[in-house]
Structure formats: structure tokens, C-alpha cells
């Protein structure tokens, strides 16, 4: 008997969706930072055992779109709410803001199981945790609630066995040696963007898109040329930094991560170009992979 199915991870920005995906996969597939809106695309992580395949789907956090890029991000979320066998709804137990009514309404209506994960319980008290469990039981009565810490791997060992129990009997959807649906260039782009999110403040990280122009795999090394696109000339100067120090730092940090990911020497060259107001331009967004 072989089980297989789609498990979609949903929640608000910064709830810990990507951290959870990486924890369950045992592999860093999704970039992770403390900044909201780190995840822009829908990423599949394909978990395999001899008699099991779980296709995890990490999605952008649910938000109220303010420009076209965010609208495209929400399209990925809407797609993910229509095609799962199980939903993992992850929420930050410390989040004091109003829950997403859109998500709660959708999850209450869908006819598939919902596992509600109260994340970051290592940063709160037993009393607060019990209050949160009671609150979310009222919000989504059918959901099974599990307090976890995705970062510290607390209680996460219960998730995979539970999903195996809930998923239907199916043959695998993907090859058993496949761990994601994304091409190699996607992970190069995302790794560079992660380093920009970590090294720059304010609007700069959100004005950036990264495109790998060259990816040539040789016997002992991979040669990569990537372009960092920004929206304005002033942002180009900030990305490069004084005497090129900032872009050199980003390149070094990205190269080290990529060498771990690909297990090969990486020769990485970064370039910065201006693509004016690309976040609001339909043609540019399609060119960057936002359909």
C-alpha cells in the first residue's frame, strides 16, 4: 500500500511556513528571514519514503495586496486553497493582530482535514498556549491543533506520521528521487534574494528581484551570472554599496550557501540593473515568473 497526496502550508506572513517546510523536508528549500513577505512563490517540497510521498506546498503569507506583485503572490495562495488533501494551517502564537478572516472562512468550508499548528510555543507560557488552543478551537472547530516550534523542532516529529495517516492511497506523483518542482536557477535566485533581505533595510529588499542569466555546470564547479533588478537608480547605488562592499558581502554569503546546496565549488558574479517600477508592471512580473 502506497500513500501520496498534497499538503499545503498556509498562514499569515512570518508565521513560520518556510521554516516548517525546511524542518519537515530536512533540507533548506525555502529561504527564511525575520522579514514579512520573504516567500513570493509557491514552492513544492517532495518528501519520500518507500510507501509514502508527501508533496508539501509552501505559499506566500496571506495579506491585503497593495500593488501588482502582491496580487500575484495572493494568486498563488488562492490556488493552494483549492487542491490539497490536507492543510497545515500555521499561526504564530504571539501574533496579536486579528486573524485572517479569509483563511478561516476558506478552511472551515473545505472538505479535507486541517491540522492547525500553533507555532513558536517555546516563546510563550503554558497559560497563553492554553488560551490560544481554546481560541482556535472556536475559530476552526474541525481542525486538530498541535502546539509546535518549527525552529526548535519541538513536536514537529508528530506531523509526518499524522499526515501519513490522513493521506489517501495513491501512487507517487513525482519521481522518488525528486525533492522539489523548482529548477536549479530558482534556488540561486532565492538564495541571493535571502542575503539581500538579511543585509538591507527598509524598502530595498522588497524592490529587488533576482534572475540567473547563466548557470553552467562543469566537472568541478558551477559558473553563475545573476542580475539583481531594482526599481530606481538610487537603489542600485545602495545595493552596490561604498566601493562595492555590500554587493561583495551578498555575493560571498550567497556563494557559501550555494556551495552547500549544490555540493560543488561556485563561481558567482552579480550585476545590478534598474527595471523601473517592475513590481507594478504586468509584463515585467510575467517575465520574472509571476503569472
- High-pLDDT (> 90) share of the chain, %: 85
Note the pLDDT of residue 109. Answer: 94
pLDDT at 212 (0 to 100): 98
Mean pLDDT, all residues of the chain: 94
Mean pLDDT, rounded, for 233-256: 97
Q: What is the pLDDT of residue 79?
A: 86
Q: Is pLDDT of 291 > 80?
A: no
pLDDT by residue (tens digit) across 3-56? 999 999 999 989 999 999 999 999 999 988 888 889 999 899 999 999 999 999
Considering only 16-25, 98-107, 117-126, 135-144, which range has the smallest mean pLDDT?
98-107
What global pTM score does this model have?
Answer: 0.90
Nearest to 203 by CA among 244, 245, 231, 241: 231
Q: What is the pLDDT of residues 75-92, one digit of tens each?
A: 988 888 888 999 999 999
Residue 40, CA distances (Å) to 8, 55, 205 in order: 15, 19, 12
Residue 98 confidence (pLDDT): 87
Q: Please, which pLDDT band fits residue 288 given cuts at 50, 70 and 90?
A: very high
Strand bridging mode 43-49 / 52-58:
antiparallel
Give the pLDDT score at 62: 86
Residue 166 predicted with pLDDT over 90:
yes
Q: How far apart are CA 11 and CA 16, in angstroms?
A: 8
pLDDT at position 128 is 93
The percent of the chain in helix, strand and coil, each rounded to the nearest 5, is 40, 25, 35
Average of pLDDT values for 165-179? Answer: 96
End-to-end CA distance of the chain: 37
Using alpha carbons, select from 78, 61, 88 the residue that is nearest to residue 6. 88
Amino acid at each position: 500500500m502506497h500513500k501520496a497526496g498534497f499538503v499545503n502550508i498556509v498562514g499569515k506572513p512570518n508565521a513560520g511556513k518556510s521554516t516548517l517546510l525546511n524542518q519537515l523536508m530536512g533540507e533548506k528549500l525555502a529561504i527564511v528571514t525575520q522579514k514579512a513577505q520573504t516567500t513570493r512563490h509557491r514552492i513544492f517540497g517532495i518528501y519520500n519514503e518507500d510507501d509514502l510521498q508527501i508533496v508539501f506546498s509552501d505559499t506566500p503569507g496571506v495579506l491585503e495586496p497593495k500593488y501588482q506583485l502582491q496580487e500575484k503572490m495572493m494568486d498563488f495562495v488562492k490556488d493552494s486553497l483549492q487542491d490539497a488533501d490536507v492543510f497545515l494551517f500555521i499561526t504564530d502564537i504571539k501574533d496579536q493582530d486579528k486573524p485572517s478572516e479569509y483563511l478561516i472562512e476558506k478552511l472551515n468550508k473545505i472538505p479535507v482535514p486541517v491540522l492547525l499548528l500553533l507555532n513558536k510555543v517555546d516563546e510563550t507560557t503554558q497559560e497563553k498556549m492554553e488560551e490560544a488552543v481554546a481560541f482556535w478551537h472556536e475559530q476552526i472547530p474541525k481542525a486538530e491543533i498541535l502546539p509546535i516550534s518549527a525552529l526548535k523542532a519541538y513536536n514537529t516529529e508528530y506531523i509526518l506520521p499524522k499526515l501519513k495517516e490522513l493521506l489517501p492511497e495513491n501512487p507517487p506523483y513525482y519521481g522518488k528521487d525528486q525533492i522539489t518542482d523548482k529548477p536549479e536557477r530558482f534556488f540561486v535566485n532565492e538564495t541571493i534574494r535571502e542575503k539581500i533581505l538579511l543585509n538591507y533595510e527598509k524598502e530595498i529588499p522588497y524592490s529587488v528581484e533576482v534572475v540567473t542569466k547563466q548557470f553552467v555546470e562543469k566537472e568541478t564547479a558551477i559558473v553563475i551570472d545573476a542580475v539583481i533588478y531594482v526599481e530606481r537608480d538610487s537603489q542600485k547605488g545602495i545595493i552596490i554599496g561604498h566601493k562595492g562592499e555590500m554587493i561583495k558581502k551578498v555575493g560571498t554569503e550567497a556563494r557559501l550557501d550555494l556551495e552547500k546546496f549544490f555540493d560543488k565549488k561556485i563561481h558567482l558574479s552579480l550585476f545590478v540593473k534598474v527595471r523601473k517600477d517592475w513590481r507594478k508592471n504586468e509584463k515585467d512580473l510575467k517575465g520574472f515568473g509571476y503569472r
